[in-house]
Amino acid sequence: MKLTIFSVLLMATSVCHAQTDPGSDSCGLMVMAHGGTEEWNEAVRAVVAPVGESVPTSIAFGMANPVTMSKAITELEEKNVNCIAIVRLFMSAHSFLHQTEYLLGLREDSPAFFISHHGPSHGHTIPDPLKFQTDVKISKTALLDAPEIGEILALNAIGLTDSSGTESVLIIAHGSGDDAVNDEWVRKMDILAESVRETKLFRNVAVHSLREDWDDKRPDAEAEIRRFVEHHSENDGRVIVLPFRLFGFGPYAEVLEGLSYISDGSGLLPHPRVTEWIKRSANELFAEFIQETEI
């Protein structure tokens, strides 16, 4: 039977209460998100806010930033939580996972380098794990694994179509510098793109990654993306470009400069289906607290 976030929270509350001190009486949710401009951050807050109506909730912006993570955990502990579900609002399950697990004390080996808003830091600059009293569990999946995101892509494409039957859809993502990880990005995006294909409105639906932070990989990726738009714009064709990003259009306007395409520049936020994914991911983690106690 499917459990609502509120009913799972009630069970998790009693479990966590039994495991820790008498002053604690609930579980909480911490959402991790990359962060960006104030408009970007506000879009994250908008999808997280409905969850906060049912469970104590905080947000840690940054690339597994120990300062914002510690602040978010403290914020929840001050609300008398003693178990925290941590949902990572990232595209890839690989994003900052090792660093996050290390900071939370879930693994002992420190990352080879530490990501901060200043860029990678090596060796002795890696901080110690965070200090907190609360039991935590962390999501191991991300938006690339979420069927809800396929639905958003389909809705975004439908919102831009002229129903002429002459249109193709190009979905562009950030991608990775690691070839194996990037192949995983593309494979999972293609699965999500099935939701767009199932509309039967478009001639072709393709996915590409820009690999935008890797100078040795990006030129070839850019050329491939431009070739797709050029080819599918021929003979009165139209190309709809969907950014596979949390918010905004990123660098794609520059990449596609001089080409004909249709886009409103909208990413995945602040769509309510992202809120549903956060709720579902939190419920799965809350259920793990319960299962451990029952065993």
Residue 69 three-state SS? helix
SS3 assignment, position 121: strand
Q: Among 164, 169, 139, which residue's Cα sits nearest to residue 243?
A: 169
DSSP string, 265-279: ---STT-HHHHHHHH
Contact 31, 58 (CB under 8 A): yes
DSSP H or E run through 206 = strand 204-209
In the chain, the amino acid numbered 239 is: V
Q: What average pLDDT does the chain have? A: 88
Q: What integer pLDDT is reported at residue 123 of this predicted model?
A: 45
**For a pLDDT cut of 70, what percent of the chain falls above it?**
87
Q: How far apart are CA 19 and CA 8, in angstroms?
A: 17
Token digits of residue 38 = 């104030």
- Token pair recorded at residue 242: 């969907």
Q: Is the pLDDT of residue 7 over 80?
A: no
Residue 71 has a CB neighbour count (10 Å cut-off) of 14
Does pLDDT of 116 surpass 60? yes
What are the phi and psi torsion angles at 162 (to 5°)? -105, 5
Q: What is the pLDDT of residue 272?
A: 96
Residue 291 pLDDT > 80, yes or no? no
**For residue 168, what pLDDT band results from cuts at 50, 70 and 90?**
very high
Q: What is the mean pLDDT of residues 226-253?
A: 96
Q: Which among 62, 19, 17 is positioned nearest to 44, based on CA atoms? A: 62
Among 178, 217, 173, 219, residue whose Cα is nearest residue 193: 173
Q: How confident is the model at residue 113 (pLDDT cuts 50, 70, 90)?
A: confident
As a whole number, mean pLDDT of residues 223-228 equals 98
Q: Which residues contact 56 (CB under 8 A, 6 or more apart)?
A: 26, 27, 28, 29, 76, 79, 81
Phi-psi region of 165 (alpha: psi -120 to 50; beta: other; left: phi over 0): left
pLDDT at 35 over 80: yes
pLDDT category at 117 given cuts 50, 70, 90 is low
Indicate the pLDDT class of residue 16, thresholds 50, 70 and 90. very low
Sign of CA dihedral 42, 45, 49, 50: positive
Q: Is the pLDDT of residue 124 over 60?
A: no
- Judged against a pLDDT cut of 90, whether residue 276 lies above it is answered with yes
Determine the pLDDT at residue 115: 78
Q: Is the pLDDT of residue 249 over 50?
A: yes
CA atoms of 160 and 244, how far apart (whole Å): 15
For the entire predicted model, the pTM comes to 0.86
Cβ of 112: how many Cβ atoms within 10 Å?
11
Q: What is the mean pLDDT of residues 185-210?
A: 98
Q: At 61, list the tokens.
A: 């912006």
Q: Which residues contact 59 (CB under 8 A, 6 or more apart)?
A: 30, 31, 32, 33, 44, 45, 48, 72
Q: Give tens-digit pLDDT for 77-101.
A: 999 998 999 999 999 999 999 999 9
- Residues 125-167 have pLDDT tens digits of 788 899 998 999 999 999 999 999 999 999 999 999 999 999 9
* Amino acid residing at 271: H
Does residue 120 register a pLDDT over 90?
no
Report the distance separating Cα 79 and Cα 18, nearest Å: 17
Instruction: Indicate whether 74 pLDDT > 50.
Output: yes
In our burial notation (b when 16+ CB lie closer than 10 A, e otherwise), range 186-209 reads bebbeebbebbbeeebbeebbbbb
